[in-house]
Structure 1
Amino acid sequence: MNQNQANAFAAKWIEAWNAHDLDRILSHYTDDFEMNSPLIAKRLAVPSGTLKGKAAVGEYWQGALRAYPDLRFELLKVLRGVSWVTLYYLGATGNEVAETFLFDGNGKVTQVFASYA
């Protein structure tokens, strides 16, 4: 993954969230991707903090979009690895968030790790 690809992913991902367009958001992911977040552990009482698949994660994210009707993410930094990207941004409540996205060979996200300040 080069920096241009990482920046393009970041721009499209942020735009999809800021548009509150769940279909566009989910278009970045494989059908069986895993989302790992301490908020999943807290809000859904899932001790591992992991949800798997577009259906489960989509339902969780739909709830977040309803809970935060004015949700807007502000991208601060794009960091890249070999087959992953970390987006550093301000989240729904203005908190600092870092999400690391692991990509497959087709450019789709297979796993995500979210961290919150």
Structure 2
Amino acid sequence: MSKLHPPSTLAALGRTWVEAWNARDLERVLTLYDDATVMTSDRIPGLGFDASGTVRGKESLRAYWRKALGLIPNLHFTLIDVYVSPDSLVVFYENERGKKICEYLRVNDAGLIVQGSANHLPQ
């Protein structure tokens, strides 16, 4: 069984995640992730990455996000809420275009993100 994380720790991780993105500090964001992390988003194929919508590993994630950041110079997330479970959190936020997004983030025993999934409203 994996380690249970206190809700306050996971909520703080969600706030830190938003702050790092708003600072446009990709390396700061990546410090929150495990080297073997897996990220899924319907935006991944559109940027020329894996057609399955999944990138695997921190280096692939770095390449994907570096490209995405280059295309969104005014990126900004406004935190709406953070939801927690013993091993995951959902960051509910609004982006710079007014779109509401839920980011599911599962953490390992060390508190690093090992799985992420960006969830957007259907178009």
Structure 2 length normalisation: TM-score? 0.89
Instruction: Please give the per-residue CA displacement for 1:62-115, whole angstroms capped at 9, x wherever unaligned.
Output: 111111111100110100112000111012422111111111100001011111
How far did 1:3 drift? 2.5
Counterpart check, 1:56 vs 2:60 = yes
Question: For the residues of structure 2 that align with 1:77 and 1:12, how far apart are their CA atoms?
Answer: 13
Distance 1:70 1:49, change over 3 A: same
Report if aligned partners of 1:68, 1:92 keep a CA contact under 8 Å in 2. no
- Superposition pairs for residues 49-88 of structure 1, below 5 Å? 49-88=53-92
Distance 1:61 1:45, change over 3 A: closer
The number of equivalent residue pairs is 117
Matched-pair identity in %: 31
Q: 1:105 aligns with which of 104, 109, 112?
A: 109
How far did 1:44 drift? 2.3
Q: Name the residue aligned to 1:36.
A: 40
State the AA in 2 paired with 1:106.
A
Unaligned runs of 5+ in 1: none
Instruction: Please give the per-residue CA displacement for 1:33-71, whole angstroms capped at 9, x wherever unaligned.
Output: 000111113332633210001111111101111111111
Question: For the residues of structure 1 that align with 2:47 and 2:18, how far apart are their CA atoms?
Answer: 23
Distance 1:58 1:45, change over 3 A: closer
Structure having the larger proportion of residues in helix: 1
Question: For the residues of structure 1 that align with 2:33 and 2:8, how far apart are their CA atoms?
Answer: 19
Q: Name the residue aligned to 2:25.
A: 21
Structure 1 length normalisation: TM-score? 0.93
